């Protein structure tokens, strides 16, 4: 077992635990976005940064292992500033149609932004990526405009489902999560299992809503007749 201090509180955790797990045990909440226990532990989003005594840089708590006597600070002004910066950068390249987004109400990005008290985005005038929405399958919608590149979907698709339908393509700012060769999902090995939707923290991967099928049917004159006549038949 390892003993360490989280915001001055001593905790004991099994060797090999992360600072995030130790903080959880100490009752300290650290925001996370890319972290998905046992599936995606890659330290990509840097939202879970903490200060560790003796370390020059802030460290991502989700991938930093604990060590004996370690002293961790989870909520200093420096930590809060760094987390805010990370989330503002994500929001600066995020499609801001939150009121009409299907994830409005349970978007992890929005929740973390609220928790950090973000009220403005300092980098709104910067460059934005312009990948278009993939509406090619009857089941899923992939919207790169809402993707935060956390790679949870990539991990679940590759390591859990072993399908490998989506991968990171490109580098740095231009990275996009998409089927290889920037194909549409319909032309990829995607089996529409929906696991990527379950793990996506935002509205970047969503299920098509039943209502869309209803509207599509109403727009089709033949189906429109069926929809209209079915209740009358039942009454007769
Ligand atoms: Fe730790 Fe993303 S949650 S880096």
Lowest-confidence segment of 102-111, 153-162, 167-176, 223-232 by average pLDDT? 223-232
Q: Which of 1, 10, 7, 56 is nearest to 30 (CA)?
A: 7
pTM: predicted TM-score of the whole model, two decimal places: 0.84
How does pLDDT run across 110-162, given as a tens digit for each residue?
A: 999 999 999 999 988 888 888 899 999 988 999 999 999 999 999 999 999 99
Ligand 1 pocket test: which of 43, 52, 151 has the largest number of ligand atoms within 8 Å of its C-beta?
43
ipTM over 0.85: yes
The domain defined by 1-128 folds into Ubiquitin-like (UB roll) (3.10.20)
Q: Does this chain's domain 1-128 share its CATH topology with 130-211?
A: no
Ligand 1 pocket test: which of 19, 30, 34, 64 has the largest number of ligand atoms within 8 Å of its C-beta?
34
Q: How far is the CA of 187 from the centre of ligand 1 (A)?
A: 31
Structure tokens at 183: 């194909």
**3-state SS class at 126:** coil
Structure tokens at 33: 């976005």
How does pLDDT run across 2-57, given as a tens digit for each residue?
A: 999 999 999 999 999 999 999 999 999 999 999 999 999 999 999 999 999 999 99
Residue extents of the structural domains in the chain: 1-128, 130-211
Atom from ligand 1 closest to the CA of residue 48: 1
The domain defined by 130-211 folds into Alpha-Beta Plaits (3.30.70)
How much is the CA Rg of the chain, to the nearest whole Å? 22
Output the residue whose Cα is nearest ligand 1's atom 4: 43
């Amino acid at each position: 077992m390892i003993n360490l201090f989280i915001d001055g509180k001593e905790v004991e955790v099994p060797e090999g635990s992360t600072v995030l797990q130790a903080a959880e045990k100490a009752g300290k909440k650290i925001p996370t976005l890319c972290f998905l226990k046992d599936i995606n532990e890659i330290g990509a989003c840097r939202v879970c940064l903490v200060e560790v005594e003796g370390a020059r840089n802030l460290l991502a708590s989700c991938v930093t292992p604990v060590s004996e006597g370690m002293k961790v600070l989870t909520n200093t002004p420096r930590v809060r500033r760094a987390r805010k910066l990370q989330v503002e950068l994500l929001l600066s390249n995020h499609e801001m149609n939150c009121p009409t987004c299907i994830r409005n109400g349970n978007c992890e990005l929005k929740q973390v932004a609220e928790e950090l008290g973000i009220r403005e985005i300092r980098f709104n005038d910067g460059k934005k990526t312009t990948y278009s929405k993939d509406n090619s399958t009857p089941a899923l919608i992939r919207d790169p405009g809402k993707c935060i590149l956390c790679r949870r979907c990539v991990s679940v698709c590759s390591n859990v489902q072993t399908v490998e339908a989506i991968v990171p393509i490109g580098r740095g700012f231009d990275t996009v999560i998409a089927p290889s060769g920037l194909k549409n999902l319909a032309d990829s090995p995607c089996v529409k299992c929906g696991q990527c939707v379950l793990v996506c923290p935002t509205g970047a991967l969503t299920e098509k809503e039943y209502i869309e099928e209803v509207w599509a049917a109403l727009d089709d004159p033949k189906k429109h007749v069926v929809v209209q006549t079915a209740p009358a038949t039942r009454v007769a």
